[in-house]
Amino acid sequence: MLIRRAPRFTAREITDPELYLSRRELMAGAAALALMPGAGEAAAPKSEPLAAKHNPAFSLSEPATKIDHATTYNNFYEFGVNKDDPSRLAHTLKPRPWSVQVDGHVHKPKTFDVNELIKLFPLEERVYSLRCVEAWSMVIPWIGFPLASLLKRVEPTRQAKFVEFTTLLDPNQFPAQKPGFFGFSSLDWPYVEGLRLDEALHPLTLLAVGMYGQVLPNQNGAPVRVVIPWKYGFKSAKSIVRIRLVAEQPKTAWEKAAPQEYGFYSNVNPAVSHPRWSQADERRIGEFRRRPTLPFNGYADQVASLYSGMDLKKFY
């Protein structure tokens, strides 16, 4: 599929690569320091640089959210329900070795080692807006490749209509997957998300393995996650172990937990409010005033045609 119209955003690069490079040096320095015996044991989180070509055609022309905010303010229920749980507990996740099983209605099912997956396709950097259903948003420079590239390689059959993503199930690596008081669990594990096949094949849909010029941090869904910028953040499954092509619409974790609050589509839509949060506006992290939320998170030109003729109030 081709993007007919140019993105709303100019090709001007605001996310200055110079900044990343200097940051990388800083991180490398910090890492070297951390490796020195006895020096700063609790210091700097491990971060490995990851090279990728910036793709201006798919990038916002807005400055990226501070990396410290993007790595400490996260919703990742496998670590806990609080925003600081993921960064605090991120060390419990072991993103290597890791394999991703791609199967279901495909001609060539295959299990990929994540290191192999990263080398399979050229990596590109894309600056996307991330809109959380809780009415806040960030601007993140992701590194990855279109999910379509991977799906085409395994050759979906004619029965394949949907794509189902499954996050790792391992209470030793994801502490919040252990049942709490009275067997309480926030969600029904493992986390399952899904897309319609045409959504999954859309050129905007990215399989991300890094961000901010680095390998993806654990709290952001290491080692591999999906990014669907026109949908609320929870649609973008993290720490994926399985991508399955299926004939029926997958039952997602949030639909199971609260079907009246979280629909299968969950496209960013200022006209359809969540019971607790009006979706008319949002707070961009780092900004003071709220800003209006755009239909499809500003990607309407590219994706609105996927839903032509659909009642988006009904299919929320």
Partner 1 sequence: MTRRTRITLKVVVWAGCLAPPLLLGYRAWTDELGANPISFVTNTLGDWTLRILLASLAMTPLRIVFGLSWPITLRRLLGLFAFAYVCLHFSVWIVLDFFFDWPRMWADIVKRPYITLGMLALLSLTPLAATSTTGMIRRLGARTWTRLHRLVYIAGACAVLHYLWLAKVGVTDPYWYAGALLVLLGIRAGDWSRRAIRRRTAAVAASATSARLIDRKRFSP
Q: How far is CA 290 from CA 138, 285, 286, in A?
A: 13, 10, 11
- Measured from the CB atom, the residue of 122 and 180 that comes closer to partner 1 is 180
- Our CB check for partner 1 shows the closer of 97 and 182 to be 182
Q: Which is nearer to partner 1, 80 or 223 (CB)?
A: 80
Residues in the chain: 316
Q: How far is the CB of 118 from partner 1 (least distance, A)?
A: 28
Smallest distance from the beta carbon of 169 to partner 1, in angstroms? 17
CB closer to partner 1 out of 87 and 302: 87
Question: Cβ closer to partner 1: 13 or 62?
Answer: 62
How near is the Cβ of 3 to partner 1 at its closest, in Å? 31
HSE-up (13 A, CA, CB side) for residue 170:
12
* Closest separation in Å from C-beta 265 to partner 1: 19
Given the rule CB under 8 A, which residues bind partner 1? 65-66, 68-70, 72-73, 77, 81, 83-84, 134, 136, 180-181, 184, 186-187, 254, 257-258, 261, 273, 275-276, 278, 280-281, 283, 285-286, 288-290
- Reading the block at residue 88, the tokens are 């605090």
Q: State which residue, 105 or 235, has the beta carbon closest to partner 1.
A: 235
Question: Is there a contact between 204 and 5 (Cβ–Cβ < 8 Å)?
Answer: no
Shortest spacing between CB 280 and partner 1, in angstroms: 8
Q: Is 289 exposed, middle or buried (0-12, 13-18, 19+ CB in 10 A)?
A: exposed
Shortest distance (Å) from residue 276 CB to partner 1: 6
Of 97 and 181, which has the nearer Cβ to partner 1?
181
Pick the closer one to partner 1 by CB: 165 or 254: 254
Identify residue 8 by its one-letter amino acid code.
R
In whole angstroms, how close is the CB of 187 to partner 1 at the nearest point? 6
Q: Minimum Å distance from CB 141 to partner 1?
A: 16
Using the minimum distance from each CB to partner 1, give the nearer residue, 112 or 142.
142
CB of 81 to partner 1, least distance (A): 5
Which residues pair with residue 145 across a beta bridge?
207
